[in-house]
Amino acid sequence: MGVLKGHSYSSYRTALGLGLLLVAVAFAGPARAQDASDDALLAKSLTDESFGNDSAEEGNSAVVPQTDAEIRDGYTLNAAEPSQIPAFAAPKLPSLTGYGYAVVRQKIGKTGGAKIVIGSLLNEPGFRPLTSNASVGLAEFSRRQGNGVRAIYVDSGVATLKDLAQSVPAEDFAETQPGVFIARLPILVRHGAVLELTGSVKELRLSTERGAVLVVEGQVNAVDSAIIGWSEAAAAPAKLAEPATFRPFIVCWGGAQFNAARMRFANLGYPATKAYGLTFSHYSDVQLQARIWPRPMAAVTESTIEGLWYGVYAWKADKLVINANKIRNNQIYGVNIHDRSTGVILANNEVTGTRVKYGIFVANDVVGSWIFGNKVSGNKRSGIVLDRRSQKAVVSGNVSAKNGADGIVVSESTDVLVWDNVLSGNQNHGIRLRNSTGARIQDNVSLANGLTGLYGAVVDTRTARNRGTVAATGSKRLEMTVVGGAYTSNGAGPFGLDYPTRVAYYNVDLRTPQRALGFRLGGTLLPLQITFLDILMAQSKVAVLQAKK
């Protein structure tokens, strides 16, 4: 597929040495030569209160350093033969040929038979989760409409925006200038119905003052256009208010198919459930529709997603494909994949400038995610985060650089492959693992990060803010295998560990230390450093560190 071309580990291997050291210094600034300075930097990642309330960056202050005697009494460090490392076969990344602009274009053009009506939104399954939400609610829609709680329904057939403009009064939906449409009521595309946006549509503006939203149960096919939140009072895109109040949003429920290519989604969403901006969510479990309709499916490609509360949000979504988009300057997350979503593909996106938290965040029993070929940079906190029982994920061929915390985080998750990524210039660690098992860290380049290249810890998350017991988030175990890769010029050394269960390292490249005095490993590895480096570098064997209890 070629998605790894240009930034794979193999392509970086030949660049190591003097040239790589110069790049590292440019990223990291002046060398830190004193051990005390290294310790202070590492401690920062364990106590920083600005991390936010996600469990991936909580509970770190629970790490209490072990004494040298405790480490020597509590762990064994042995050399193992390389044959004991399970053989690695690169996974076959999913094909993206079934998605993209040409595919969506082929779905468009079969218009006709559209039935469009205006009716009450009361007791409507597509609106019920919104009207029962205290943050949105009937009162919000009623106040903004001024004369009831109504919506525009695409009941059946295939409709264009011109069809809507011809079917409902201009005060509710109108073409204000060629190709520019304004919706002044919520729009619902029912099951079996289709709404199309093509290049003849410059913008669909959703009126903030009138409480317009786009709700999808059927199908939307959209290319070469834009959907934006709009303030009619300001005659400008809708800005986030302080404190945050209503902004238009898009939400796709069970049964929905949302296909978008070369679109622009902007100025949408605010902090209310399912109102985050561009949302793909199954119906609430208490709704009958949740048992009737399959989970929502979507493909958003080659589009721009900017200025949303969450750039993309998913809850119990299946086969969601977010590919080759520019996801930038969104408020809380760039991408947030949540609660029991499956088979999600996040590929080849540029995720930048998230203002509060993470570029890509995957959490809560999400299974089988593919995260590859993304460039994630300049986000307020970490670049890519897998949290709270994310399972069987592949994180491959990404560049995560210059983020405000870590490059890649894996916390309370199992069977995750972190393969062939480049982590550079992140404020804290290149890769950080917590309370996770079955992790394989293979052939990554972790370069010039502020703290370690790779850090792992077991943490008692019961002390974390807004979290419950350890059982609710994961076991207190850390088991990982680190094979290949380069851990170069990181501020607090290549590796750090605290309270691991079992870890194995093999064939790692540790050239160009940041410290003038050479390498200094952190935490559990520090008193065992001489033996550890001898096994890895002199004997060329596998260094296996295991807790005795």
Q: Which residues are catalytic?
A: 338
255 neighbors 191 (Cβ within 8 angstroms): yes
Alpha-carbon span 453 to 495, nearest angstrom = 6
CA distance 37 to 451: 11
Distance from C-alpha of 348 to C-alpha of 327, rounded to nearest angstrom: 11
Give the number of other CB atoms < 10 A from CB of residue 318. 18
Whole-angstrom distance, CA of residue 375 vs CA of residue 383: 9
- Under 8 Å CB-to-CB from 227, ≥6 apart: which residues? 197, 203, 204, 206, 214, 250, 263, 264, 265, 266, 268
8 Å CB contact between 522 and 478: no
DSSP conformational letter for 537: I
> Alpha-carbon distance 287 to 281, whole Å?
13
Q: Under 8 Å CB-to-CB from 146, ≥6 apart: which residues?
A: none
Q: What number of other Cβ atoms are within 10 A of residue 2's Cβ? A: 7
Question: Is residue 222 a contact partner of residue 259, using CB atoms and an 8 Å limit?
Answer: yes
127/543 Cα distance (integer angstroms): 57
What tokens appear for 353 in the block?
């400038």
> How far is Cα 505 from Cα 486, in angstroms, rounded to an integer?
12
Residue from 322, 289, 106, 298 nearest 191 by CA = 289
DSSP 3-state assignment of 80?
Answer: strand
Which secondary structure element, helix H or strand E, spans residue 138, and what is its range?
A: helix 137-145
